[in-house]
């Protein structure tokens, strides 16, 4: 009788992450990226290229601050992301839905990977950490917004990153200015 093959830790980690990302893969295969754009997704694109429109919408024409508030700041991040797309030869005219929604999918994937990393650092084994990431990845609200060219996926990623930062801060030595230093109790 042959012994079962022993998988390396990298293969087990990759398998756990693949399982965690299966809901995303399923939605991609079912055509979620090709759905028609929503009006507000198109408005985000317009806000990217017309900052004066953002200021008028907030009732502050000519003001600098509306550019940095709430979802309008996201439009500047999107403008930088789309400048990279354009430089790589992927303009909006090739596939508008993918062009506008791909950053949200990337933020969603990063959030899943970050949750996996947090679970691993807290002592979970690979499969349990993969299950935690899968629980997030399969939550309908997060999955739905992964395919929307709006700020929600980035918001989810920011909350998870903040959660990691707070956890690190609580473990820092008293009086330490660095949340990355290990606690020395």
How much is the pLDDT for 183?
Answer: 45
Instruction: Tell me the DSSP string of 155-167.
Output: HHHHHHHHHHHHH
Q: To the nearest 10°, report the CA torsion of 162, 167, 173, 179.
A: -30
Q: Is residue 125 part of a domain?
A: yes
Q: Is residue 1 part of a domain?
A: no
- Our count of domains for the chain comes to 1
How much is the pLDDT for 69?
Answer: 64
Q: Is residue 58 part of a domain?
A: yes
pLDDT digit string (tens) for 126-179? 999 999 999 999 999 888 888 887 788 888 898 999 988 887 777 766 665 555
How much is the pLDDT for 40?
Answer: 74
Burial class (CB in 10 A: 0-12, 13-18, 19+), 29: exposed
- d(C-alpha 180, C-alpha 19), whole Å: 30
Q: Is residue 142 part of a domain?
A: yes
- d(C-alpha 92, C-alpha 98), whole Å: 8
How much is the pLDDT for 154?
Answer: 86
Domain carrying residue 110: 17-167
Q: Is residue 95 part of a domain?
A: yes
**Cα radius of gyration (the chain):** 20
How much is the pLDDT for 185?
Answer: 45
Token output for 178? 């660095």
Q: Is residue 21 part of a domain?
A: yes
Return per-residue pLDDT of the chain as tens, 185 residues: 666 677 788 999 999 999 999 999 999 999 888 877 777 788 778 878 887 777 777 776 655 665 666 667 777 788 888 899 999 999 988 988 888 889 999 999 999 999 999 999 888 899 999 999 999 999 998 888 888 877 888 888 989 999 888 877 777 666 655 555 444 44
How much is the pLDDT for 73?
Answer: 74
What is the biggest distance separating any 2 CA atoms in the chain, rounded to whole angstroms?
A: 78
Instruction: Tell me the DSSP string of 34-60.
Output: GSPPPHHHHHHHHHHH-HHHHHHHTT-
Burial class (CB in 10 A: 0-12, 13-18, 19+), 54: buried
Q: What is the pTM of this model?
A: 0.78
Q: Is residue 111 part of a domain?
A: yes
């Amino acid at each position: 009788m042959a012994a079962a093959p022993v998988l390396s830790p990298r293969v087990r980690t990759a398998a756990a992450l693949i399982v965690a990302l299966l809901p995303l893969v399923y939605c991609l295969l079912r055509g979620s990226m090709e759905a028609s754009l929503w009006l507000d997704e198109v408005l985000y694109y317009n806000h990217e290229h017309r900052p004066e429109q953002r200021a008028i919408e907030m009732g502050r024409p000519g003001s600098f601050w509306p550019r940095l508030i709430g979802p309008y700041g996201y439009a500047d991040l999107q403008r930088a992301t789309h400048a990279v797309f354009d430089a790589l030869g992927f303009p909006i005219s090739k596939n508008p839905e993918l062009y506008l929604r791909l950053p949200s999918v990337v933020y969603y994937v990063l959030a899943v990977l970050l949750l996996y990393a947090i679970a691993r650092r807290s002592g979970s084994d690979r499969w349990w950490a993969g299950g935690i990431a899968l629980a997030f990845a399969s939550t309908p609200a997060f999955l739905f917004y992964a395919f929307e060219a709006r700020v929600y996926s980035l918001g989810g990623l920011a909350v998870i990153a903040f959660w990691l930062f707070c956890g690190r801060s609580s473990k820092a030595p008293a009086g330490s200015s660095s949340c990355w230093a290990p606690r020395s109790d």
